[in-house]
Chain A
Amino acid sequence: MRVLVLNNAAPFIRGGAEELADQLVARLNAISGVEAELLRIPLRSEPAEGLIEQILLNQSLRLYQVDRVVALKFPAYLIPHPNKVLWLLHQFRQAYDLYEAGNSYLCEHPSGARIVQLVRNADRKCFLKCRAIYTNSPVTQRRLLKFNGISSTVLYPPLLDPERFRGGQYGSYVFAGGRVGAGKRQHLLVEAMRMVKSDIRLVVAGPLDDDEYGRKLRGVIDQYGLSSRVELKFGFHGRDEIARLVNGALACVYIPIDEDSMGYVTMEAFCAAKAVLTVKDAGGVLELVRDGATGMVAEPDPNSIAIGLDRLADLSAAREMGLAARALLEGKSLSWKYTIERLLDD
């Protein structure tokens, strides 16, 4: 079976969607009887009038000798094909939720309303012809239903490199990975360490959103003499280094503010059989973390977080919840095997 993965591409820019597309192609090619390739169509979303051309050009391209198309993004998914499966990462948000919220560049544009209509019409026509429609998260799913009246099935993107997160010793530290910034609330963790009674340590590692936040965290550590208990590793870390920190941790912590997704940080921890401490208003993370079963769900305040961390300091509890976390992840169908089976379903 020849599977062509379609994605758009802003020249010279790479992000999560590009990583996902590459990984999908690689995983497809690993299946015997499947040959996969990636087709990237250059996207230029400005000026706004150009969107009309973008739609037209994608509709005018032709694909031959392709058995199945897996399309990820606008406007590449408009390329006609009789056997197209959509795995929608997000719509062209400027014409949907951002437009409704008054945050789109199309709001100010004299022809904005007509361009929005054009995008939505082209989308609808395309969606109705798709063989199946999957979305990457409940948020994308809700938007698709709300704006296009199209129902879809959520198919979460699996970890790109689960092979790295095989787990290991349950060490003496809890690990907080991911970006470091006010939206991720690492300051609550550092403050919680003042109240933790057990002798666990906290390791924070990730790129800083802004230097000011970094100074704030260091300030708290200095003020309360926490330097032996909290380690800050700001900056970009390679995947192997991140995996090493996760695999050797007692448990992991992740307390973002109302996040859309479950978060790769949570999935990495679960994959490595580590329990995750989170908080009640963390959003999508709560789809995975169940209090006392696969981790701890605390109130978003240092005191409550400290109590949760102390419970995780009990090695057998941490291990038991970690193993349950891994089992939950597997049951949640977050594997590439499951994902690809869905995308290639008849």
Chain B
Amino acid sequence: MKIVIASSFVPFVHGGGRFIVDWLELKLREHGHQVERFFLPFIDRPEDLFDQILAFRLIDVSSACDRLIAIRPPAHVLPHPNKVLWFIHHIRSLYDLWDSPYRFVPDNPSGRAFRSALIDLDTRTILEAQRVFTNSQVVATRLQHFNGIAAKPLYPPILAPERFRHDRYGEEIVVICRIEPHKRQSLLVEAMRYVKTPVKLRLCGTSMGSVHLDEIAATIAKYGMQSKVIFENRWISEEEKVERLAPALAVAYLPQDEDSYGYCSLEAGHAQKCVLTTNDSGGVLELVKDGVNGLIVPPDPLALAEAMDQLFVDRALTARMGEANRRRITEMAIDWTTVVDSLTS
């Protein structure tokens, strides 16, 4: 089949929204499809939001391919008689983040009209699709709630999961993801003040801004935690990631109400590690079950510290949960064959 994958991007910003597209392209090719992939520029600002969406709407690849797979918004507005969506999020500031500081138009008649124009436009263009998949139950629920559209989660796998390995359950709880306020690494650092065991925390990753980094560095310095919080503020290569995870005790990932479980939770599973998360972490809770393949606690330093100590002390349980996390990925059918079959059937 000739397939065009369309998604949006912000040039020079790298992240999960690109991986899902690049990896899908690779996997579709491996399955014998001809694939052309387009990343189109988009930024959600009120000044020209609808101009940009119009531009997407005018991009017509309908005669060039048998199927269009649209991923990040507003790629779903591209017209095609055989359109399938792998919908990974809405333009959230006008959807579920309306009642939050992220809302970028005022909550007045004109702002509300702006919002409902987008919702209406999204609903119409999403309904054009033959099938609608999401990357999580969280996003599927939002589609139902805001657009009245039923969608099925199609969980995104990582590329080449077999490269991850498990050596032992050591003393480090590892966090490998972007260091940003909503990923709440600072909460984990704060928690390290209260741990009673020799458990260690390793933070790896880069940041778009410096505020969160400074905050973390300041907390480490203030409480003299240099020996128990290892802070690798740099880009970690895929090979290094494998080496960091293999001897880890567990992985921590506690984003604030994230849409999906996050690739780092999957990487944990493939390396046979359980995940420490919080009860407000959104999509992570679709993967992690408390006491089964990880621990779920309130987003509070004391509760986190207690959980970290438990992971350190009760190694038998930590090991069982690590193994369970590997099985959980299979149970949820998080693999590329499922993805390719769903998107091409």
Listed in ascending order, the chain A residues whose CB lies under 8 Å from chain B are: 2, 4, 9-12, 35, 37, 39-42, 44, 50, 53-54, 56-58, 60-66, 79
Query: Which B residue's beta carbon lies closest to that of A35?
Result: B12
**Residue pair A2, B11 in contact (C-beta under 8 Å):** yes
Q: Which of B21-52 contact A (CB under 8 A)?
A: 34, 36, 38-43, 45, 48, 51-52
Q: Which residues of B contact A12 (CB under 8 A)?
A: 2, 34, 36, 64-65
- Chain B nearest CB, measured from A46 CB (Å): 9
Having A42-B64, A44-B64, A57-B56, one finds 14 other A-B pairs with CB under 8 Å, namely A11-B4, A12-B2, A39-B41, A53-B58, A54-B58, A56-B55, A57-B59, A60-B48, A60-B51, A60-B52, A61-B41, A62-B48, A65-B10, A65-B12
Knowing A12-B36, A37-B11, the reply to whether A60 touches B59 (Cβ < 8 A) is no
Knowing A37-B12, A44-B60, A66-B11, the reply to whether A61 touches B36 (Cβ < 8 A) is no
Q: Which residues of A contact B39 (CB under 8 A)?
A: 39
B61 at the interface (CB under 8 A from A): yes
Bound Cα distance A338, B265 (Å): 47
Bound Cα distance A11, B37 (Å): 9
- Chain B nearest CB, measured from A70 CB (Å): 13
Bound Cα distance A44, B4 (Å): 14
Q: Which residues of B contact A61 (CB under 8 A)?
A: 40-41, 52, 55
Q: Which residues of B contact A41 (CB under 8 A)?
A: 38, 40, 59
Q: Which residues of A contact B100 (CB under 8 A)?
A: none
Q: Which residues of B contact A58 (CB under 8 A)?
A: 55
Knowing A11-B64, A44-B64, the reply to whether A57 touches B12 (Cβ < 8 A) is no
In the A-B complex, the 3 residue pairs with the closest CB atoms: A57-B58, A11-B64, A60-B55
B121 at the interface (CB under 8 A from A): no
- CB-contact partner of B11 in A44, A54, A57, A65, under 8 A: A65
- Chain B nearest CB, measured from A134 CB (Å): 22
Q: Which residues of A contact B117 (CB under 8 A)?
A: none
Q: Which residues of A contact B55 (CB under 8 A)?
A: 56-58, 60-61
- Chain B nearest CB, measured from A57 CB (Å): 4
Knowing A12-B2, A62-B52, the reply to whether A50 touches B60 (Cβ < 8 A) is yes
Bound Cα distance A9, B2 (Å): 16
Bound Cα distance A4, B11 (Å): 8
Bound Cα distance A4, B52 (Å): 18
- Chain B nearest CB, measured from A53 CB (Å): 5
Bound Cα distance A60, B11 (Å): 16
- Chain A nearest CB, measured from B13 CB (Å): 7
Bound Cα distance A10, B40 (Å): 14
B108 at the interface (CB under 8 A from A): no
Q: Which residues of B contact A35 (CB under 8 A)?
A: 12
**Residue pair A11, B11 in contact (C-beta under 8 Å):** no
B97 at the interface (CB under 8 A from A): no
Bound Cα distance A47, B10 (Å): 30
Query: What are 15 contact pairs spanning A and B, CB under 8 A?
Result: A4-B12, A11-B61, A12-B34, A39-B39, A39-B40, A41-B59, A42-B64, A44-B64, A50-B60, A57-B59, A60-B48, A61-B52, A61-B55, A62-B51, A64-B43
Knowing A2-B11, A63-B11, the reply to whether A57 touches B63 (Cβ < 8 A) is no
- CB-contact partner of B38 in A9, A50, A53, A63, under 8 A: A9
- Chain B nearest CB, measured from A27 CB (Å): 17
Q: Which residues of B contact A39 (CB under 8 A)?
A: 11, 39-41
B54 at the interface (CB under 8 A from A): yes
Bound Cα distance A37, B52 (Å): 20
Contact with A along B59-78 (1 / 0, CB 8 A): 11101110000000000000
Q: Which residues of B contact A10 (CB under 8 A)?
A: 64
- CB-contact partner of A11 in B40, B51, B52, B65, under 8 A: B65
Bound Cα distance A116, B280 (Å): 57
**Residue pair B58, A56 in contact (C-beta under 8 Å):** yes
- Chain B nearest CB, measured from A21 CB (Å): 14
- Chain A nearest CB, measured from B73 CB (Å): 15
Q: Which residues of A contact B41 (CB under 8 A)?
A: 39, 61-63, 79
- Chain A nearest CB, measured from B68 CB (Å): 10
- CB-contact partner of B61 in A44, A54, A63, under 8 A: A44
Query: Which B residue's beta carbon lies closest to that of A11?
Result: B64
Q: Which residues of B contact A9 (CB under 8 A)?
A: 36, 38
Query: Which B residue's beta carbon lies closest to that of A44?
Result: B60
**Residue pair A44, B38 in contact (C-beta under 8 Å):** no
Bound Cα distance A66, B13 (Å): 11
